[in-house]
Structure 1
Amino acid sequence: MHSTVDALLVLSFGGPEGPDEVRPFLENVTRGRGIPPERLDAVEEHYQHFGGVSPINARNRELIAAVRDRTDLPVYFGNRNWHPLVEDTLASMVSDGVRNALVFATSAYGGYSACRQYDDDIARARKAVGDAAPQLTKLRHFFDHPAFVAANADAVRAAQAEVAPGARLVFTAHSIPTSADAAAGPPEEGGHRYSRQVAEAARLVAAEVGAAEYDVVWQSRSGPPQVPWLEPDIVDHIDALHAAGVTDVVISPVGFVSDHVEVVWDLDNEAKERAAELGMGFARAATAGPDPRFADMVVELIDEHRHDGAPRRLSEVPGAGCTVNGAPCAVDCCLPPKRRGRPAS
Structure 2
Amino acid sequence: MNHPQPAPSEHGEPPFDALLVLSFGGPERPEDVRPFLENVTRGRGVPPERLDAVVEHYLHFGGVSPINELNRDIIARLRHDLAATGVDLPVYFGNRNWHPMAEATVERMREDGVTNALVFATSAWAGYSGCRQYHEDIERARAAVGEGAPHLRKLRQFYDHPLMVAAFADAVRGAAARLPDETREGARLVFTAHSVPTAADANAGPAAAGGRLYSRQVAEAARLVAAEAGADDYDLVWQSRSGPPHVPWLEPDIVDHIDVLAERGVPAVIVCPVGFVSDHLEVVWDLDTEAVDAARRHGMDFVRAATPGTDPRFTRMIVELVAEVRDGVPARRLGIEPLWGAATDGRPCADQCCLPVRRPGR
For residues 127 and 252 of structure 2, the distance between their equivalents in structure 1, rounded to whole angstroms, comes to: 19
Correspondence 1:247-326 to 2 at 5 A? 247-320=267-340, 322=342
**Alignment map for 1:1-345 (pairs within 5 Å):** 3-71=14-82, 72-163=88-179, 164-166=183-185, 167-320=187-340, 322=342, 328-339=348-359
SS of residue in 2 equivalent to 1:254: coil
Residues 176-185 or 29-38, more deviating? 29-38
Question: Following the alignment from structure 2 to structure 1, what is the Cα–Cα distance between the partners of residues 184 and 14?
Answer: 52
Tell me, yes or no, if the aligned pair for 2:116 and 2:151 is still in contact at 8 Å. yes
Name the amino acid aligned to 1:73.
L
Residue 3 of structure 2: aligned partner: none
Distance 2:65 2:346 in 1: 27
Please give the alpha-carbon distance, in whole angstroms, between the structure 2 residues aligned to 1:107 and 1:326.
Answer: 18
The structural deviation recorded for 1:327 is 5.6
> Scaled by the length of structure 2, what TM-score is found?
0.91
Count residues with an aligned counterpart.
Answer: 340
Structure 2 residues not aligned, in runs of 5+:
1-8, 83-87
3-state SS in 1 of match to 2:20? strand
Cα drift, residue 131 of structure 1: 2.1
- Any unmatched runs of 5+ in structure 1? 341-345
CA contact (8 A) 1:138 1:324 kept: no
Shifted more, 46-55 versus 218-227: the winner is: 218-227
TM-score, normalised by the number of residues in structure 1: 0.96
Amino acid at match of 1:165: R
Equivalent residue of 1:52, what SS? coil
Q: Secondary structure in 1 aligned to 2:309?
A: coil
Greater Cα offset, 159-168 or 58-67: 159-168
Note the alpha carbon deviations across 1:262-301, whole angstroms, 9 max, x for none: 1100000000000001000100111111100000000111
**CA–CA distance in 1 between the matches of 2:283 and 2:33?**
17
SS of residue in 1 equivalent to 2:159: coil
* One-letter amino acid of the counterpart of residue 260, structure 1: H
Asked if the contact 2:123–2:130 (Cα under 8 Å) also holds between the matched residues in 1, the reply is yes
322-331 vs 91-100, greater mean Cα deviation? 322-331
C-alpha root-mean-square deviation of aligned residues, in Å? Answer: 1.6
Q: Following TM superposition, where does structure 1 have runs of at least 4 consecutive aligned residues deviating by more than 4 angstroms?
A: 323-327
The answer (yes or no) to whether the contact 1:171–1:216 under 8 Å persists in 2 is yes
2:162–2:334 CA contact under 8 A, matched in 1: yes
Structure 1 residue 85 displacement after superposition: 0.1
- Opposite residue 9 of structure 1, the aligned amino acid is L
Between the aligned partners of 1:23 and 1:254, the Cα distance in structure 2 is 28
> 1:33: how far off?
2.5
* Counterpart secondary structure, 1:151: helix
Alpha-carbon contact 1:139-1:323 (below 8 Å) kept: no
CA separation in 2, counterparts of 1:52 and 1:325? 42
CA spacing shift, 1:204–1:197, aligned 2, 3 Å: same
- Shift in Å, 1:64: 0.3
Cα distance in 2 between the residues matched to 1:15 and 1:250: 27
Structure-2 separation of matches of 1:3 and 1:86: 22
> C-alpha displacement at 1:208, in angstroms?
0.4
Q: Secondary structure at the match of 2:21?
A: strand
In 2, the alpha carbon distance for the partners of 1:83 and 1:300 equals 28
CA contact (8 A) 1:135 1:324 kept: no
Q: CA deviation at 1:328?
A: 3.2
How far did 1:75 drift? 0.2
- 1:200-234 per-position Cα deviation (integer Å, ceiling 9, x unaligned): 00000000011110011000111122111000000
Bigger Cα Rg = 2
- What's the CA shift for 1:20? 0.9
Deviations 1:116-142 (A, max 9, x none): 110100010010011211111100010
1:34 and 1:180 mapped to 2: Cα distance?
15
Whether the 8 Å CA contact 1:137–1:324 is kept in 2: the answer is: no
Is 1:14–1:57's contact at 8 Å kept on the other side of the alignment? yes
